[in-house]
Amino acid sequence: MESAIHARGLRKAFGRARVLHGVDLTVPTGTLLALLGPNGSGKTTTVRILTTLLRADGGTATVGGYDVAREGDRVRRVIGLTAQQATVDDLLTGRENLELFAGLYHLGRREARRRAQELLERFDLTTAADRRAGAYSGGMRRRLDLAASMVGAPRILFLDEPTTGLDPRSRAELWAVIRELLASGTTILLTTQYLDEADQLADRIAVLDGGRVVADDAPAALKRQVGSERLVLRLAGDEDAARAAAVLAAQGEDARRSPGDDPSEVTLALHGPDHLRRVLDLLHRAGVAPERVELRAPTLDDVFFELTKAVAA
């Protein structure tokens, strides 16, 4: 399958701070790749290089078949970008914003007006169309920003943390819009700090850590690697927690007392009901009784813990 985005060995340093250490990415046409990573992992830098806003120090990348370093003009004609910071004109209305950008895509006055109206309808902004964008709620601003990115009907869309700071409802609405864009054939590269977001939307997840891709796989495969759920054992105190962790570790379990969390807790990746029984049996035989047992979905922290452990081993 032809790849819409293809990057090999992207490197970038700002002064002495090395941000990217050779990033490889491939996004097949019509799919969504989630670039998952914490703050400072290099997500935005990667997006800025791929959208021609920033020049890489090393490596190559093509977007839509065009070289981002040498054919910036051509790349810009096939992409749309929704940056982390909403980039709409607060002083103009939603409609004026879209008409301005449509004009700058050289759509012609009547065509620009039609395109703006079409996007306002599609992104559910018709009632707010003639209000100033500065007065929009966070969710509306993001939708306007996304609509602005779609003005030129891009084949390839970059979304840099599109849902950061949104309430759950706005987030769900934005997810629906992203799914629609994907269904209509747009290739999407989305960055996120949230594993569940990547899981919900992505065909493939690339995990970025410290400027390197530490994993690149289908969500299901990645989740298998990380374990589906986390078992959290709360013990009577620090000492009990230390003993529980030691007992489990002696039996080959990957239990850890997560730094920053409650010191009386022990966390481990859980692989099914049998595994839960085995863990509780082990503790029972060792005479350590947890006060409470909790299950929770794996977080980004867990993913990093698992993946960086795999890299270190």
Partner 1 sequence: MTAMTTTAAAAAGRRGSGAGDLGRLIARALRHETCTVDALIVNIAMPVAIMVVFVYVFGGAITTGSSGLEYIDFAVPGVLVMCAGYGAALTAVSMAEEMTGGMIDRFRTLPIGAWTVPAALVIASVVRNVATTGIALAVAVVLGFRPDATPAGWVLTAAVVAGYVLAMSALAVLWGLMVTSTQAAGAFSFVVLFLPYLSDTVVPAETMPGALRAFAEHQPITPLVETLRGLLLDRPIGDSGWIAAAWLAGAVVVATPLAAARFRRRTSA
d(CA 186, CA 69): 23
- How many residues bind to partner 1 according to rule CB under 8 A? 43
- Residue entry with tokens 């370093």: 69
Binding partner 1 (rule: CB under 8 A), the pick from 91, 172, 220, 289 is: 91
Residue 278 sits in the site that holds partner 1 (CB under 8 A) = no
Binding partner 1 (rule: CB under 8 A), the pick from 7, 34, 63, 79 is: 79
Residue 76 sits in the site that holds partner 1 (CB under 8 A) = yes
Q: Closest distance between partner 1 and the C-beta of residue 272, in Å? A: 46
Inter-residue contact 143 to 94 (CB < 8 Å): no
Residues 132-191 that bind partner 1 (CB under 8 A): 132, 148, 151-155, 184
Instruction: Give long-range contacts, CB 8 A cutoff, 24+ apart: 276-284.
Output: 276/231, 279/231, 279/233, 279/248, 279/253, 282/247, 282/248, 282/251, 282/253, 283/233, 283/244, 283/247, 283/248
In the stretch 95-114, what mask flags binding to partner 1 with x, by CB under 8 A? Answer: -x---xxxxxxxxx--x--x
Q: Give the residue with the Cβ less far from partner 1, 160 or 253.
A: 160
Residue 85 sits in the site that holds partner 1 (CB under 8 A) = yes
Residue 42 sits in the site that holds partner 1 (CB under 8 A) = no
Question: For partner 1, which stretch binds (CB under 8 A), given 90-98, 172-180, 241-249, 303-311?
Answer: 90-98
Q: Tokens standing for 282?
A: 């082990």
Instruction: Give the containing element (helix H, strand E) for 44.
Output: helix 43-50
Q: Give the residue with the Cβ less far from partner 1, 136 or 305.
A: 136
Inter-residue contact 209 to 308 (CB < 8 Å): yes
Cα distances (Å, whole numbers) of residue 280 to 50, 90, 285, 293: 49, 57, 9, 10
Residue 11 sits in the site that holds partner 1 (CB under 8 A) = no
d(CA 36, CA 215): 10
d(CA 211, CA 184): 32
Q: Give the residue with the Cβ less far from partner 1, 117 or 299.
A: 117
Residue 88 sits in the site that holds partner 1 (CB under 8 A) = yes
* Binding-site ranges for partner 1 (CB under 8 A): 51-55, 73, 76-81, 83, 85-89, 91-92, 96, 100-108, 111, 114-115, 118, 122, 132, 148, 151-155, 184
